[in-house]
Amino acid sequence: MKEELIKYLVENITENRNALFDKVIEDRTKYITVVLEDIFQPHNASAVLRSCDCFGIQDVHIIENRNKYNVNPDVALGSSKWLSMHRFNEQENNTREALRALKDQGYRIVATSPHTNDVELYDFDVTKGKAAIVFGTELTGISDIVKEEADEFVRIPMYGFTESFNISVSAALVLQHLAHQIRTSGVDWNLTLEEKQDLKLEWLRSTVKGAPLIEREFYKRRM
């Protein structure tokens, strides 16, 4: 039924658009996912989304404790439309809930922070399993809860006086490297067939004008 609905909705987009959807979906991954904890500067938040889209990272997990996650459309350039954004904002402190939910999904929690047990980015082993990469706030970095829950710590090697990169730069550097690594390491990083179908259906529903009406017509014809 899902495959038939996709074909029905595809009739309302151009062949080039459909081909682009299929091409991008083949490069999407959930093997690496991104976790953003309490990001408060809209331009940084938006730049991270743009990097996720560019490097094929489908899922972004947003933890809102003190700060609401806002997107600057001029920076994001519509990237949020193509990503699956999961928000954690119903508890007093949502960090532990988010990280444990990811662990339940089989992710190892990897915090981006200089730490006594950290490894340099280029030594990080992507073959050990799915990884949720956690980025902290612009001012204070990751929280103590992230440090408690993290399975591993990774840092970007730096050679200057400055102690850290801007978060949007950090995310871009980390994701570019990991996106390349998973594609050359032999790990199974692709979406499953069902995930590909779900994602294409989501994109069609968000881009086809009048999609709800068209979908209702589809089910009416099936009755």
| CATH code where residue 44 lies | 3.40.1280.10
- pLDDT computed for residue 174 by the predictor: 97
* Residue 81, in any domain of the structure: yes
C-alpha separations of 223 from 11, 168, 217, 219 in Å: 20, 49, 10, 6
- pLDDT computed for residue 116 by the predictor: 65
Residues in the chain with pLDDT values less than 50: 77
Cα separation, 89 vs 62, in Å, equals 8
Cα separation, 81 vs 92, in Å, equals 28
Nearest CA to 222 out of 49, 75, 8, 79 is that of 8
* Residue 119, in any domain of the structure: yes
The two three-digit tokens of residue 44, written as one number: 């940084």
Is 207 annotated to bind ligand?
no
Dihedral, CA atoms, 67, 68, 74, 76, nearest 10 degrees? 100
- pLDDT computed for residue 78 by the predictor: 63
* Residue 181, in any domain of the structure: yes
Q: H or E segment at 130?
A: none
* Residue 16, in any domain of the structure: no
- pLDDT computed for residue 197 by the predictor: 97
- pLDDT computed for residue 75 by the predictor: 52
* Residue 93, in any domain of the structure: yes
* Residue 142, in any domain of the structure: yes
* Residue 136, in any domain of the structure: yes
Range of the domain at 39: 30-205
Is 62 annotated to bind ligand?
no
Count of structural domains within the chain: 1
For the stretch 53-71, pLDDT in tens is: 999 999 999 998 876 766 6
For the stretch 119-142, pLDDT in tens is: 999 999 999 999 999 998 777 788
